[in-house]
Every structure is written in structure tokens, then in C-alpha cells.
Amino acid sequence: MDLARDLVEELAREFGLGDEKKAGLRELLYSLNWPLLEAAKQMDITDEERVLRIVASLLGIPYLRSHEYPEKPVLLDGVSIDFLRHHAILPLQGENSDVVLIINEPWDLTTTSLLEKHFSGSRVSVAVGHGDEIRTAIDRIYGAMGGITGEAEESVDVPVGVDVYEDDLDRLRGLAQEAPVVRLVNVLLTRALDMRASDIHFEPTEKAFKVRCRVDGVLYELDSPPKSMQPAIISRLKLMANMDIAERRLPQDGRIKLRFGHRDVDIRVSTAPTIYGESVVLRLLSQEAVEYNLEKLGMDSQQLKIVTELIERPYGMILVTGPTGSGKTTTLYAILRRLNTATKKIITVEDPVEYQIDGINQIQVKPQINLTFANALRSLVRQDPDVLLIGEIRDHETADIAVESALTGHLVFSTLHTNDAPGAITRLRDLGIESFLIADSVLAVMAQRLVRVLCEECREPYEATDEDMNLLQRWTPHLDERPVIFRHRGCRKCGFTGYRGRQGIFELFIVRDRVRSGIVAGKDAGELARLASDLGYRPLISQGCQKVLQGITTISEVLRVTSLT
């Protein structure tokens, strides 16, 4: 009872509770035996982490965040995963085969005692953790061990020959909606989100059904479900995305909106027929994971100053180039967020609209009803916009309208798929735009790539080798001394990859008078780059080397995304 009294006093002091709320909290805990966190919420205490840290301190046990959890599971003989998720208790194997119970409700002594008795053959220690993090870890660690897939296989009673029921739509729909299949799909989604994945790939092969997810631009393989579950899993994903499960000959696109714990996730679903069944790719768009802030994209101070000045121009065109997945959309959204004020009307035409931004008119391209980039743009210039964002310039018609808009008082942003910034000029010429129109309309081109950022917990310093120096001195002027740079190593916090998160590297090609004359004269991308270099233009690899010297990334990572040596 003394501990409980101390807890009420500590919470009252920490959260500034008055006498009435303090008495109410005491009654809920003492008389009504409410769970601690529910009682706290009743008293308008919603900061779970602060509450748990106070409890952990009073009980003399550690408070652990998810990256501090042990990674080894224990044998759950007689303990169901549903029980663990309901009570938010995560049993894991600590050092020397000890069992660590990470619990969200340390005041629930009955449940904790039951589990301590269950694991009585081992020494049991207790730690406190956040509820969402515990449940996510339960799904990630125990959902991938085969228990769920085994349960699902048994429950759905799949015949040996997968094709036996592939054409039985009622059977497929029923399997896709059975609890074990639903739970398995949820586990795979949760695990990918926990890994900070941007995409999940469900890939059928002749003898297996592989699942891979892309984290920081690199694919990692997850535990594969049985091949026999392939039709049920694919049908489940298609049902969630409101797709036609009977259509397996043609590609389809769909969308899923879900909430996992405290995360709102928008999932874009794409299917494609292969010789071994449908391949499904999920693009995970978690709003909280994206940083729409120009200052945090990775530009150096000089680049940021120039870009900030350029986007305040009243008219002209600014292009962002790079391959798929290089962060072009994020950069453009960060620019639009900066420009999004009451004095400007902003209209976008996108395919697809990845994120909704308040105050901006966003239009989704729909080729099936002939709402293409070009057709949409023809109407939009009559909507009197100040700023136009065109998702991508793909053809002559779209390029022509974009250039015309830039020349008639609109600030236009768009993307192109080119390897570097000067190459965008050549690409516009290839699309049939006259050189003098390009010179008059284009203000700047920005090429970008994403490099993985070294994990600060485990990055390892070393003195640059001769090979490193050859590259660094080539692309970094005035580097005389041999610098100390970093290599990746790997730890639990970064998932043993050595990297955590990504950051952009950029090259800015600004169309000033000298460059403008070169464009009108029909000079190629290489000659234009040489003209621009006298005015401060530096290629991608140059900024990449600067980030290596700053300890942000590695030489191998810069070379991976720039393809230069």
C-alpha cells in the first residue's frame, strides 16, 4: 500500500493534479482496482511514457524502449499470443537464458505472477515498456516464428495442389477472410512498419512464396509463408484494396488505409501477373515518417539559400530529376509546404496523390477517363493558380503546356527521369521543346539521390585509405590532410545494417545568362555542365563526399547511388 500511495503522490506532483483529481486517482486504484494506465487517462494523464518511467523508478525496475529489447524469443509452451497482446506482456530471452518479462501494466501483479510461475524453470526479471511498442514487438518476434503460419495452414485446410481452388472464387474469398490469414497479413504489415520499410514485396516463385521489404532503399527478406498459402494471402490483400480477386490476368492498382497502433498508414497496392501467380507490391506511406521540411532534406547551407530564393520567383519552371525512389516527391512537397500561404493558390496534378496537404488543390490523374497530365493542365491554367505542380513530364504535350505556363506568369514545378541535372535540358529537347523556350522558361534543375545515414550508436571511425583519398581529393577541393571518416558496423538499434534513415544529396544546375546562351546554342549536357561548373555547379558525388567527411554516410554508399568511381 505504501508503494501505491507513493505512486499517487508522484503522479500528482509530476502532472500537477489538484486534490480532487488526486483523490479520484486514489479511489480508482485502491477501491475500484482499475488498471494504472486506464486510471491515469481517466484523470487526463495521457503521457504514457512519463507514467511508466515513474512506476519503473518506484519499483526499481528498468524502463526499456523497443530498440533496447532482447531479440531472442522464448518457447511459448501453453501461452497464447492473444493473451500476450491483450495484456501487453512480452517474454524474451535475456543473458544466460534468463527470461525478461517486458510489461506495460506493472501494477497487474496477478498476471505477472502467473507468468513468473510459468517460466519458473528460469530466472525471471521484469522491465516496463510502452504498450504499442510491446504489441508491435510481439507481432514482429513471435508472428515470424512460424507459429502463426502453422496455425493458418492448419486452419484454412489448404489442399496440396494450390491450383485446386484458385478458380473457386467463393472458396478464395472465404479463405482470405478467415482469422489466421487475416492475422498473418497483419503480422507481416506490422513487422515491415516496425522495420521502417517503405515497400513490401509478395513474390511467387516456382516452389516458394517470398516476402521482402525495402528499408532505407535496400531489400531485406522476411520469413516466407508456405507456398500453399499464396492464393489466400494475395486474395486477402486484394480484398483489403477493393480489387477484383477474379481478375488475375491484368495488373491492378488499389489503396488501403489502416491504423496500426498510433500510426496512420496509407498503403498503395499494385498487382502484376507472373508465370507463378500474382506479384503484389505494397507501398507504405506513413504520414509521420515523412519530413516535409526543406531544412531537413540534406541540402547544404548554400544550396538551401539558393533554392529558397528560387521558389519565391513569380514565374518560371523548376525541375527535380532522379530515378524512382530518390525522394523527388518529398522534396517537392517540402517546397509546396513552404509556399503554402493564404496569398498563393497552389494546384497539383499527380499520379498518384501520395499525401494530402491542407490548403492545396490536388488532382489525381485518371487515364481511364482521359484525365491525363496534359488534359488536366489545359483546364487548370484557367483556374488562375500562382503555383503549379506537375507530377511528371512524360510527353511532348505535357512539356509544352508546362513551358507555356512558366512563360505566362506561373511558377511551375515538375519531375523528370534523368541521371543528372544538365541531362534535363537534353530530355526536354527530346520531348520536342525548342531550345530558346527551354532557356526562357527553366530557372533551375535539381538532381537528387538518397544515401543511407550511418547509425550513430555503432558507426566506426577509421583513417581514410589511399583509395578513399583518391576519390575524396578528386571531388573535394582543398583536402590536404588524411581525414578520419566512418564505416558501418551494425547493432540492435539499426537492425544490424549499420544504417538508420536516409538523407538527400543534391546537385543544383541554375540557368544563368551564360548557361542560357549555351542552351540556345544547342550545347549538349556535358558542355552545359562545364559552363555551369564555372558558376558553382557541383555534381552529386561532390556533395556525397562532403557528407562522408561530415560522418553522415560512407564512401561505398555514395558510390552505390551515384554510380561513379
Is the CB of residue 202 less than 8 Å from the CB of residue 211? yes
CA 486 vs CA 164, 316, 548, 557: distances in Å:
55, 41, 8, 11
Domain range 294-452+502-538, CATH class: alpha beta
Report which of 285, 219, 216 is spatially closest to residue 449, judged by C-alpha positions. 216
Highest averaged pLDDT of the listed ranges 269-283, 364-378, 471-485, 522-536: 269-283
How far apart CA 168 and CA 232 sit, in angstroms, is 11
Query: What confidence score (pLDDT) does residue 194 get?
Result: 73
CA 14 vs CA 1, 10, 11, 18: distances in Å:
20, 6, 5, 11
**Percentage of the chain exceeding pLDDT 90:** 35
In the three-class reduction of DSSP (H, G, I as helix; E, B as strand; rest coil), residue 541 is classed as helix
Q: Which amino acid is at 508?
A: L
Report which of 522, 529, 533, 553 is spatially closest to residue 455, judged by C-alpha positions. 553
pLDDT digits (tens, 9 = 90+) for 454-468: 999 889 999 999 999
Has residue 343 got a pLDDT over 50?
Answer: yes
CA 96 vs CA 92, 100, 371: distances in Å:
12, 11, 64
pLDDT band at 11 (very low <50, low <70, confident <90, very high): confident
Has residue 339 got a pLDDT over 80?
Answer: yes
Q: Which three cell numbers stand for residue 33?
A: 482496482
Has residue 87 got a pLDDT over 90?
Answer: no
Is the CB of residue 403 less than 8 Å from the CB of residue 432? no
Is the CB of residue 191 less than 8 Å from the CB of residue 140? yes
Has residue 161 got a pLDDT over 70?
Answer: no
pLDDT band at 188 (very low <50, low <70, confident <90, very high): confident
Output 163 or 21, whichever has higher pLDDT.
21
Helical axes 19-30 vs 2-15, angle rounded to 10°: 150
Has residue 534 got a pLDDT over 90?
Answer: no
Output 121 or 377, whichever has higher pLDDT.
377
In the chain, what are the domain boundaries?
1-143, 169-286, 294-452+502-538
- Asked whether the whole model's pTM tops 0.85, one would answer no
pLDDT band at 176 (very low <50, low <70, confident <90, very high): low
Has residue 565 got a pLDDT over 50?
Answer: no
Has residue 288 got a pLDDT over 60?
Answer: no
* Burial (CB count <10 Å: 0-12, 13-18, 19+), residue 179: exposed
How far apart CA 126 and CA 309 sit, in angstroms, is 55
Has residue 112 got a pLDDT over 90?
Answer: no
How far apart CA 49 and CA 44 sit, in angstroms, is 14
Pick the CATH number of 1-143 from 3.30.1360.20, 3.90.1170.50, 3.40.50.2000, 3.30.300.160: 3.30.300.160
Report which of 538, 541, 545 is spatially closest to residue 483, judged by C-alpha positions. 545
Has residue 156 got a pLDDT over 80?
Answer: no
Q: Which amino acid is at 509?
A: F
Q: Which of 110-124, 216-230, 231-245 has the lowest mean pLDDT?
A: 110-124
Alpha helix (H) ranges present in 31-102? Answer: 36-42, 48-59, 81-87
Overall fold of domain 169-286: Beta-Lactamase (3.30.450)
Is the CB of residue 347 less than 8 Å from the CB of residue 385? yes
Q: How many residues does the chain have?
A: 565
Has residue 1 got a pLDDT over 50?
Answer: no
- If you average pLDDT over residues 516-524, what whole number do you get? 93
Query: What confidence score (pLDDT) does residue 290 get?
Result: 59
144: CB partners within 8 A, 6+ apart: 187, 191, 222, 223
Question: Sign of the CA dihedral 467, 473, 475, 479?
Answer: positive
Query: What confidence score (pLDDT) does residue 182 get?
Result: 79
Is the CB of residue 555 less than 8 Å from the CB of residue 548? yes
Q: What is the mean pLDDT of the chain?
A: 84
3-state DSSP percent of the chain in helix, strand and coil, to 5: 45, 25, 35
Question: Scanning the structure block, which residue is given the C-alpha cell 555542365?
Answer: 529
Query: What confidence score (pLDDT) does residue 92 get?
Result: 84
Has residue 158 got a pLDDT over 60?
Answer: no
CA 57 vs CA 53, 288, 370: distances in Å:
6, 30, 63
pLDDT digits (tens, 9 = 90+) for 205-233: 998 999 999 988 888 888 788 888 898 89
- If you average pLDDT over residues 127-136, what whole number do you get? 87
Output 287 or 164, whichever has higher pLDDT.
287
Query: What confidence score (pLDDT) does residue 219 get?
Result: 87
In the three-class reduction of DSSP (H, G, I as helix; E, B as strand; rest coil), residue 535 is classed as coil
In the three-class reduction of DSSP (H, G, I as helix; E, B as strand; rest coil), residue 148 is classed as helix
Is the CB of residue 15 less than 8 Å from the CB of residue 8? no
- If you average pLDDT over residues 59-69, what whole number do you get? 85
Output 156 or 484, whichever has higher pLDDT.
484
Query: What confidence score (pLDDT) does residue 400 get?
Result: 92
How far apart CA 192 and CA 289 sit, in angstroms, is 13
Query: What confidence score (pLDDT) does residue 124 get?
Result: 84
- If you average pLDDT over residues 155-164, what whole number do you get? 44
In the three-class reduction of DSSP (H, G, I as helix; E, B as strand; rest coil), residue 103 is classed as strand
Give the count of beta carbons closer than 10 Å to the beta carbon of residue 274: 11
